[in-house]
Structure 1
Amino acid sequence: MADAKPPPTPPEPAAAATSTAPKPNASPSSAPGYKALERNPAFRMLGLPSLPRKLPSRNWMIFFTVTGSFSAAVIYDRREKKRATARWARAVAPLASEPVPNPSQLPRKLTVMLSAPPGEGVRVAQDHFLEYIKPVLAASGLDWEFIQGRAQGDIRAAVAERIRRRRRLDEKPDELLEPTEEAIREEVRRRNNIPEYVGDAGDIVIGRNTWKEYIRGLHEGWLGPLDLPPHLQPPPPPPPAEEEATTTEDGATAENQDKKKEEEEKEKKPERPPQPLPHNTTDEYSDSPLPRTIPGHFSPSAPIQFPHILGFLNTPTRLVRFLNRRALADDIGRQVAAVCFAANREWREEAEASSDDRLARREQELALEWEEKNWIKSVWKTEADDEEDKKAGKLPKEKVWTNPMVLDPRITSRMRRFELLPEDEERARAIVIPEEVVEGWIKRNLRSLYRWGAGAWQGKPKGPNVGNIDDVVV
């Protein structure tokens, strides 16, 4: 017997009601009465997407904030650095247009001394000069010459040798000196009756290490003898050990081949002249008499700061200095402007606080002393170098950078320092630098594009050119 078919169950009313209601997980655009967010017609015509409906995520916000803040700090510091350099360059610009009192007289010529900082090459010091010092000097119209040192002691030797040459010309005029480029130029000027510059030229010394060599060279040149004393001359090199010559297949000895190779290398690479040895020591200052030809005061000088630090652990310090180069440019520009205006004073004695009492130290000794804290540690290790010099039969080199600065009052009292006058500084601070001088490449090009467009639009006639109606004769 077949089973009876069950009767159909009627639909539940609740289910029918829920089927017509919107689902809770459905998108709001499917809800009745919702107006979809359409793209802006202007953006659609330009092919640009619609604006985002929400902010970026937390990580993206942190990235944009840090990147934007650092970029803004770099851009602001670069603009203010350009503004500071341009302000001091415009302050000394009137010197370039001043008339020369004596056209036949040589112009004022400064001496710029720079050397490689500890652990680096001389290129770093040259870039420092080009970035902060040269723009001000070039605007003043003054001439300058370089004395560059690639190794420790080069500036000391150059300064002392210039002073000794000057002393020889005054004390021993009949002595024949070795002809140099400077001596040849002086002889040509003397024959043509060209007078030297009357006045103080000035020296610009960059960096603490160069400053210590400059002071040592002054003392050596004026307090040391003209010729190297016998007790400071290097001992003769030891004779070369005799080796048995081995004959090769070609009939030439190995010793002759080595000599030929050395001669070829010397021809290809010219050797650097040896550095002159110091003619005295710091202990001999008090016993050395002053020469008769010493002037009443020396040429003024200006020590220029050169902050330079190496090492991975010093990255925070380097970053802070990188973001504050505007203060460095302002300080260097101020000192170079003082050199250009040629206002100077005597070096003073400054009191330094001590644990026992207050000690008076010369201002020359305290100048740029803080830079020594940034020098690498290998500069202070000198025992290995001394042992190598002793093995080679040479006198140990004098460590001017690491040794304390020894001053003689007879020399320091004749030194002078450049200092900017208050009225010159006030006039420089009042100079307003236009925006076109400090703006970047993007803004400069946008500004020029706007001016070109505005000028082209203003120059185009907007209607028929009928002339002046009042001039028409009826």
Structure 2
Amino acid sequence: MGTGEMAESGNPASKGAAELGKNAEKSKGFTNPAFQMMGIRRIKLPSRNWTIFGCVVCALVGGVLYDKQKQKQQRAKYMACVSAGGEERYDASRVPRKVRIYAAPPPNDYLSETMKYFRRFVKPLLNASGIDFELVTEDRQGRIRSIVAEEIRKLRRQKLGLPDKAPEEAATEKSKKEEKDREEKEKESKKSLMNINPSFGMAMSGIGGQENTNGETVDSESEKLDEDGHPIKAVKDLYAPGDVLGLMKFLKDSPEIKVRSDDEIEGSARDAGGIICIGRGAYKEYINGVHEGLLGPVYEPENVKAAKAKVIEERREAEKPDSELSEKQRKRRDKQREIQEKEDREKPALPYILPDQYKESDIARELGIGSNPRDEKGQYYFFLEPILVLRLYTVSGFTKLPERIRRFYTKRRQQVDYGDRVNGLVEKKYRQFSTGDVDWEAAEEGDWPGPWVKRGREKKSEWCREFKVDSRVAELLAVYEKKPIDLDSVAVPAKKTPDKWGRKPWV
């Protein structure tokens, strides 16, 4: 037998092995003849890379879904624990307890980020407990401090019998308002009133005077007349809502209903209302505002007026004189001045007193805090109500990305922290303010961006400067304590079904 014959005899075996290998490759995966006829490919196991990718995606998505499901269960349990007040019935003469909430945005972020915490962790519990709330949101640093201080100064002026504005300031504002009204009337008088009776148009535009039915001339600026000489009055001056609705016919003989709030009925200011500060920055501004209102002057001091005047003077000096400007340029400059004045009004007012001046100032005695700490409406002074501070868990910056991811997947722990603190507010668990409360939620400052803090210290920002509390003011303050709830012992409330009209119950 030659070598050629031996090669030919070996070919069948090699061909059979090759065919078996091809058949083995083709037989990978499962297929159904019906699927095969429809053109559907074989069902195969994914490759190693696709398996890794799928596991990672499922783990990430599963972590988010698990966290959201736990948040939903925890929220339902907290709402069930505080729902006793929400189920209480109120008559027409009673108003529920009301808390005040101050919210400020995190550094280098927007106010919407703070509102997410409020809507997700705070609002559901307050609604379930039947507690009303007033939300004060400001996106400019210093606005909360300015609002709180001005409200306290207003209370002091009422007790002293003083006007809201200083005499010289009120006279200046009055002259500005009169000048503005005069300009608006001149603009209206220049407009042509189409399809309107001329005499009526003159009365509406405030031009000249008119004769009434008795032949007497009446100044149209003081009293506008129609074409028959009768005075034109607004509908609100002619009718009251009760007259239009016909309610007075049924209610004229009924006794007047005196509405009283639960905060007014309480025997102590500690049991009335409450203050919630969302964020360390809002807490600092609130405390600074209380100090400014109680220890500062009633009206704007001269140093603040001088600082404002200096800024305006420097701005005017930077402008070109009128002799170098054309008519068009002057109009553009006046418009820019109006825009700048509007921005200045929107800016927070400068502090009337600084922390270094606290010891030199006397606390407001005209409020009668020791004897009768109530305003003219019978409500307790809001600054005597206990305070609750809620931390913002917002983190920014590339170096803090791992911590940001961890907090994103553990929001259920944030909800437990918020829920326990809000539960303490609902149950009125409070204590006296102490010196250690100055550093309340100071850990939040570690989450603030470093460059932002550096700029704030250079500009002497309220959030970044030293935080001081006067001992006299500290004696008037109180804080809410955390009241934990054992969520494992609380059953998940049953899901409420819609009524026969298909209306879903409020949650």
Q: What TM-score do you get using the length of structure 2 for normalisation?
A: 0.65
Match of 2:63 among 41, 58, 73: 73
Aligned partner of 1:281 in structure 2 is 354
Separation of aligned partners in 2, 1:288 and 1:305? 32
Q: Does 1:379 align with 2:452?
A: yes
Displacement of 1:201 in angstroms is: 0.1
Asked if the contact 2:146/2:348 (under 8 Å) is kept, the reply is yes
Displacement of 1:56 in angstroms is: 3.2
Separation of aligned partners in 2, 1:346 and 1:122? 31
Asked if the contact 1:246/1:253 (under 8 Å) is kept, the reply is no
Match of 1:27 among 19, 44, 55: 19
Match of 2:47 among 57, 79, 88: 57
Match of 1:340 among 423, 426, 430: 426
Residue identity in the other structure for 1:273:
E
Displacement of 1:370 in angstroms is: 0.8
Match of 2:386 among 300, 303, 308: 300
Q: Could you give the per-residue CA deviations for residues 233-288 of structure 1, whole angstroms, max 9, x where no partner exists?
A: 333232734625357xxxx6344332454378689x88753422222111222232
Identity of aligned residues (%): 27
Asked if the contact 2:457/2:464 (under 8 Å) is kept, the reply is no
Does the C-alpha gap of structure 1 residues 429 and 400 become closer, same or farther in structure 2, counting only changes over 3 Å? farther
Asked if the contact 1:147/1:158 (under 8 Å) is kept, the reply is no
SS in 1 for 2:388: strand
What is the correspondence of 1:427-466 to structure 2 with a 5 Å cutoff? 429-433=488-492
Separation of aligned partners in 1, 2:71 and 2:295? 43
Aligned partner of 1:209 in structure 2 is 281
What is the correspondence of 1:59-458 to structure 2 with a 5 Å cutoff? 59-100=49-90, 103-169=92-158, 171-172=159-160, 174-177=161-164, 193-196=258-261, 197-198=263-264, 199=266, 200-235=272-307, 236-237=309-310, 238=313, 240-241=316-317, 243=321, 245-246=323-324, 253-259=327-333, 261-262=335-336, 272-292=345-365, 293=367, 295=369, 298-348=384-434, 362-382=435-455, 399-421=461-483, 425-426=485-486, 429-433=488-492
Displacement of 1:114 in angstroms is: 0.5
Residue identity in the other structure for 2:62:
A
- C-alpha RMSD over aligned residues: 3.6
SS in 1 for 2:306: coil
Asked if the contact 1:39/1:50 (under 8 Å) is kept, the reply is yes
SS in 2 for 1:233: helix
Separation of aligned partners in 1, 2:300 and 2:338? 33
Residue identity in the other structure for 2:15:
K
Separation of aligned partners in 2, 1:97 and 1:65? 46
Separation of aligned partners in 2, 1:31 and 1:121? 64
Aligned partner of 1:359 in structure 2 is none
Displacement of 1:212 in angstroms is: 1.0
What is the correspondence of 1:34-53 to structure 2 with a 5 Å cutoff? 39-40=31-32, 49-52=41-44
Aligned partner of 1:450 in structure 2 is none
Displacement of 1:432 in angstroms is: 2.2
Residue identity in the other structure for 1:380:
V
What runs of 5+ residues in structure 1 fail to find an aligned partner? Answer: 1-8, 180-190, 349-361, 387-397, 438-474
Q: What TM-score do you get using the length of structure 1 for normalisation?
A: 0.70
Displacement of 1:47 in angstroms is: 7.5
SS in 1 for 2:389: strand
Q: Could you give the per-residue CA deviations for residues 13-69 of structure 1, whole angstroms, max 9, x where no partner exists?
A: 64564344353641327889x9998734686699864432xx433322322222221
Aligned partner of 1:440 in structure 2 is none
Displacement of 1:205 in angstroms is: 0.5
Separation of aligned partners in 1, 2:389 and 2:97? 19
Displacement of 1:306 in angstroms is: 0.5
Residue identity in the other structure for 2:154:
R
Residue identity in the other structure for 1:110:
V
Q: Which moved more, 1:14-23 or 1:69-78?
A: 14-23
SS in 2 for 1:278: coil
Does the C-alpha gap of structure 1 residues 273 and 206 become closer, same or farther in structure 2, counting only changes over 3 Å? same
Displacement of 1:156 in angstroms is: 0.9
Separation of aligned partners in 2, 1:36 and 1:285? 84
Asked if the contact 1:22/1:31 (under 8 Å) is kept, the reply is no
What runs of 5+ residues in structure 2 fail to find an aligned partner? Answer: 171-255, 267-271, 371-382, 497-507
SS in 1 for 2:50: helix
SS in 1 for 2:364: coil
What is the number of equivalent residue pairs in this alignment? 380
Displacement of 1:225 in angstroms is: 2.2
SS in 1 for 2:128: helix
Asked if the contact 1:86/1:433 (under 8 Å) is kept, the reply is yes
Displacement of 1:407 in angstroms is: 1.3
Larger radius of gyration: 1
Displacement of 1:112 in angstroms is: 0.8
Separation of aligned partners in 2, 1:415 and 1:57? 65
Asked if the contact 1:81/1:326 (under 8 Å) is kept, the reply is yes
